[in-house]
Amino acid sequence: MRHDDPVDFEPYRGELVVFCYRMMGSFHEAEDLVQETLLRAWKARDRYAPARASVRTWLYRIATNACLTALEGHSRRPLPSGLGMPSDDPGAALVPALDVPWLEPFPDARFDVEVRADLRLAWVAAVQVLPARQRAVLVLREVLAFTAAEVAEQLGTTVAAVNSALQRARAALAGVGDAGAVTEPDDPEVQAVIQRYIQAFEATDVPALVRLLAEDAVLEMPPVPLWYRGSQDYGRFLERVFAMRGPGWGMRALTSNGQPALAAYAPEPGGGHRLHTLQVFTVTGGRIAHNVVFADPCVLDVFELPRDIPADQLRRER
């Protein structure tokens, strides 16, 4: 390809961000790595050979190598439930573990639906446990449907090595829930559950919230390493939150990682609401099975949500 050939890499940016997010577990790192990928591609455009690979395949090779380099000596990004046993103390100190590189949520609204499929938090968290090259093989083969030969070319290895790595990755992830049991966020039943959750949360009605939960529902709150299992402990923790912050909460519905999500706005003493957390739900069988609550302001920023909302705005939105 000559330097004067018109090449537009921008149409691939969104899907490359999603790919790098699956690899890294961080939206911030994914954006940085895609910028690096596109810069490398532009500088190397005269060495691109269309007869060997499509532009898309070539860009994924560059992005994969950028991710593998970034992952060298890199700690995995967990959720609290991946680090230890659940707590049974709803009054435990909420001390952030700022030394842990926590898994980050993905801001769906900033990307096309087609490029952000298969981003469930539980799946991305499980993938983080895999060695980097197994992680790359799994995503490239299982999610993006590249052939074994294409992945071997991208990784500079053999088809046999790719197939072996894929088999090991599949075995490692065999226990990561049934994706088919997780309902889509636009499913009417899911929307009804989330609307009831909004109503109960805004009313600080803990019994109503607990009735919406699966019996073994999980609540976790990165960057706080605590997590709870069971509707009873979930409810006891919410009682604590409402006792600390009072009534008058507001909620805004959105999606994250292809899952239903809510932005929770806490009441301010002088009136209005301030962004407090992002809550990402897994809904199965008409019940909330999992809620991952993100409170890090840097994480919330990528969702481009208003930090402060007047007292009556959330009511007008509904």
3-state helix, strand, coil in the chain (%, to 5): 50, 15, 35
Domains of the chain: 10-172 (1.20.140), 182-317 (3.10.450.50)
Beta-ladder partners of 221: 224
3-state secondary structure of 290: strand
Residue among 98, 102, 96, 70 nearest 83 (CA): 102
Task: Label residue 255 exposed, middle or buried (CB < 10 Å: 0-12, 13-18, 19+).
Answer: buried
pTM for the model: 0.91
Beta-ladder partners of 264: 251, 277
Give 318's pLDDT tier (boundaries 50, 70, 90).
low
Q: What is the DSSP string of 131-171?
A: -HHHHHHHIIIIIS---HHHHHHHHTS-HHHHHHHHHHHHH
pLDDT for 1-38, tens place per residue?
A: 444 555 688 899 999 999 999 999 999 999 999 999 99
Beta-ladder partners of 67: none
Beta carbons of 267 and 249 less than 8 angstroms apart: yes
Beta strand 308-309 pairing with 273-284: antiparallel
pLDDT for 105-145, tens place per residue?
A: 999 999 886 766 678 999 999 999 999 999 999 999 998 99
Q: Is the peptide bond before 223 cis (omega within 30 degrees of 0)?
A: yes
Beta carbons of 229 and 215 less than 8 angstroms apart: no
pLDDT for 201-255, tens place per residue?
A: 999 999 999 999 999 999 999 999 999 999 999 999 999 999 999 999 999 999 9
pLDDT of residue 116: 64
pLDDT of residue 186: 83
Average of per-residue pLDDT across 79-93: 94
The percentage of residues in the chain with a pLDDT greater than 90, rounded to a whole number, is: 77
Q: What is the total residue count of the chain?
A: 318
* Higher pLDDT pick, 173 / 150: 150
pLDDT for 59-73, tens place per residue?
A: 999 999 999 999 998
Beta-ladder partners of 219: 228, 291
Q: Tokens 């301030």 belong to which residue?
A: 274
Return the amino acid letter for 118. Answer: D
Q: How far apart are the first and last CA of the chain?
A: 53
Mean pLDDT of the chain: 90
Q: Where are the beta strands (DSSP E) in the chain?
A: 213-221, 224-229, 250-256, 259-267, 273-284, 287-294, 308-309
Residue among 268, 267, 275 nearest 300 (CA): 275
Beta-ladder partners of 218: 229, 290
pLDDT of residue 177: 56
